């Protein structure tokens, strides 16, 4: 049956067969015929034309009025045929766009890639998964010249290509900052100026920036309107919020970003995330922040990287594998 040819003879035989038997077999072949025709870009008006010609051959005595009515039908199909062809063309275009986008997404991955640094006694886990092809979240590790570890996590309000372009800019400004001493408040102030100057005012970027000193085990942090982080006290077995006041990046030129500090004891954890984590949805319900912490607690005994991956898997499943927002989670744990 796969050798079905779209020709008049074939159609005529099928039609005759059906008129004679009225059975399902012939209708099944009609279905195959129409699929085959579509694969060959045959428009509906051509099918009608073949039908009319077949009828003329099967019924040479067909009344002229009926024949005329068939031409009427054919005429009404022309626009459907055009819509069908447009659909084909748009589909091709869409495939093109899709592949372009995936090239861009790969480029972005390379551009924004950041290496988790190795620090004695500190364990880092990081995961960032885009909801669509391009990621509007960003995280970044850097070691400054005094040996401290800088961690930035940012979120562009908005998704897709514009957000991704914006993030590339953030990354390159961060790379160009002097690596002397990367104070969170100073970093955010500088970034704020960059964003204010360069980014459309309808685009907002939030960021949480922390600096960990592995000698003093102090963690300094500032926030530009970003989702608060969490601190886990190993001793007390409880989480508390880590937040600092500060405007979203790019709103005004001279925003200030007060800096806070936190003493980190062995076994303690620092958790930084984007709202793609805290605003996970199960059906219509937004999950509570406590649920995130519960899940983190559940996997806490795993190595940090496995832990963030398990947490991600949990929420991915909870949302039926359809992320609504980019998901980024970074965990830092002091082991000794």
Partner 1 sequence: MDFQSCVNIKKEWDIVGARQLGRDIAKKIGFGTVDQARIATAISELARNIYLYAGSGKVCFEAIDDMNHKGLSIIAIDEGPGIEELSQVMEDGFSTSGGLGAGLPGVKRLMDEFDIVSEQGKGTEIKVVKWLR
Q: How far is the CB of 70 from partner 1 (least distance, A)?
A: 9
Q: Which stretch binds partner 1 (CB under 8 A): 71-79, 101-109, 281-289, 299-307?
A: 71-79
Q: Of the candidates 263, 294, 256, which has an alpha carbon nearest to the alpha carbon of residue 278? A: 294
Task: Give the one residue of 74, 188, 194, 329 binding partner 1; rule: CB under 8 A.
Answer: 74
d(CA 148, CA 178): 14
Query: Nearer to partner 1 by C-beta: 77 or 161?
Result: 77
Task: Give the one residue of 10, 29, 49, 143 binding partner 1; rule: CB under 8 A.
Answer: 49
Q: How far is the CB of 15 from partner 1 (least distance, A)?
A: 18
Q: How far is the CB of 45 from partner 1 (least distance, A)?
A: 5
Interaction mask 261-290, partner 1, x per CB under 8 A: ------------------------------
Q: How far is the CB of 9 from partner 1 (least distance, A)?
A: 17
Q: How far is the CB of 97 from partner 1 (least distance, A)?
A: 13
Interaction mask 148-167, partner 1, x per CB under 8 A: --------------------
Q: How far is the CB of 77 from partner 1 (least distance, A)?
A: 8
Q: How many residues bind partner 1 (CB under 8 A)?
A: 18
* Contact between 41 and 85 (Cβ < 8 Å): yes
| Residues between 6 and 45 that touch partner 1 (CB under 8 A) | 45
Task: Give the one residue of 18, 38, 46, 144 binding partner 1; rule: CB under 8 A.
Answer: 46
Tokens of 327: 């998901």
Burial of residue 260 (number of CB atoms within 10 Å: 0-12, 13-18, 19+): middle
Side-by-side strand order, sheet with 218-224: 137-143, 149-156, 205-213, 218-224, 260-263
Query: Nearer to partner 1 by C-beta: 45 or 189?
Result: 45
Query: Nearer to partner 1 by C-beta: 56 or 196?
Result: 56
Interaction mask 294-313, partner 1, x per CB under 8 A: --------------------
Query: Nearer to partner 1 by C-beta: 58 or 78?
Result: 78
| Residues between 75 and 114 that touch partner 1 (CB under 8 A) | 75, 78-79, 82-87, 89-90, 93
Q: How far is the CB of 53 from partner 1 (least distance, A)?
A: 9
Residues that bind partner 1 (CB under 8 A): 45-46, 49, 52, 71, 74-75, 78-79, 82-87, 89-90, 93
């Amino acid at each position: 049956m796969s050798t079905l040819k779209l020709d008049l003879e074939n159609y005529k035989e099928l039609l005759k067969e059906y008129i004679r038997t009225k059975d399902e077999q012939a209708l099944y072949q009609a279905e195959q015929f129409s699929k085959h025709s579509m694969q060959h870009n045959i428009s509906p008006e051509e099918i009608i034309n073949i039908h009319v010609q077949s009828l003329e051959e099967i019924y040479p005595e067909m009344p002229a009025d009926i024949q005329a009515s068939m031409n009427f039908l054919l005429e009404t199909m022309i626009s459907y045929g055009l819509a069908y062809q447009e659909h084909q063309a748009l589909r091709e275009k869409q495939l093109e766009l899709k592949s372009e986008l995936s090239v861009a997404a790969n480029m972005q991955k390379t551009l924004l890639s950041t290496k988790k640094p190795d620090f004695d006694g500190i364990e880092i886990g990081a995961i960032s998964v885009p909801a669509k092809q391009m990621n509007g979240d960003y995280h970044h590790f850097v070691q400054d010249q005094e040996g401290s570890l800088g961690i930035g996590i940012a979120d562009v309000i908005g998704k897709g290509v514009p957000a991704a372009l914006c993030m590339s800019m953030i990354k390159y400004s961060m790379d160009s900052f002097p690596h002397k001493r990367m104070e969170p408040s100073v970093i955010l102030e500088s970034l704020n100026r960059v964003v204010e100057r360069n980014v459309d005012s309808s685009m907002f970027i939030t960021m949480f920036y922390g600096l960990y000193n592995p000698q003093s085990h102090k963690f300094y942090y500032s926030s530009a309107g970003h989702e608060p982080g969490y601190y886990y006290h190993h001793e007390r077995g409880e989480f508390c919020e880590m937040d600092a006041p500060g405007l979203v990046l790019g709103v005004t030129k001279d925003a200030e970003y007060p800096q806070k500090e936190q003493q980190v004891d062995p076994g303690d954890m620092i958790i930084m995330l984007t709202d793609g984590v805290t605003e996970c949805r199960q059906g219509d319900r937004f999950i509570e922040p406590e649920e995130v912490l519960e899940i983190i607690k559940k996997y806490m005994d795993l190595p940090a990287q496995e832990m963030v991956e398990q947490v991600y898997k949990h929420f991915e499943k909870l949302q039926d594998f359809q992320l609504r927002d980019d998901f980024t989670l970074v965990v830092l744990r002091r082991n000794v």
